[in-house]
Amino acid sequence: MFHHRRRFGWPFVTQRFRYRANNGRTLWANPRYYLGRPVFTIGVLGMTAYIVLSLIWLRVFLWGAAGYGVAAVLFSLPSCRRDWRLPFVLPFAHLTQHVVYYVGIVWGAASILWTAPRIVRMRRWRRRAFGAAPAAGTARTRPEATETESRAEARTDRP
């Protein structure tokens, strides 16, 4: 899948938030796909643990922020060859991107709370419209399709 990259700024942040919110929603549909990836699982659970522990102990927040800052600067240093200002800007850009990723995933996963009734209604409507689930190996037929086919046959019978 190809995503058109946007310049860093508000369009970039909103695009990334939208993509990560979709990941959070998809987490409910296919949890094995996301939770089976160690980087995703460790990242989301680690960040959640960091936030919870930071609310309890200020020292955890300070050490975590300092560690993230040092790592972000170290990962930004190779970009000094292109522009000497980048190591001063990139840590904040990385922080923004990681915060948007985490908030988007959590927002998407939490969206089940307000979209679940709509999903349940859609599933009930589908059951009423299309009948009970078909037996294994049989094709599902829609009542509308039969009606449409009969209309098409009626049109072909006309002179």
Domain spans in the chain, listed from the N-terminal domain onward: 10-110
Q: Compute the average pLDDT of residues 52-63.
A: 94
For residue 72, what are its two tokens? 């972000």
As a whole number of angstroms, the distance between CA 26 and CA 107 comes to 12
Inter-axis angle of helices 58-76 and 38-56, nearest 10: 140
pLDDT in tens, 14-32: 888 888 888 888 887 777 8
pLDDT in tens, 98-131: 899 999 989 988 887 777 666 566 556 666 766 6
pTM of the model: 0.63
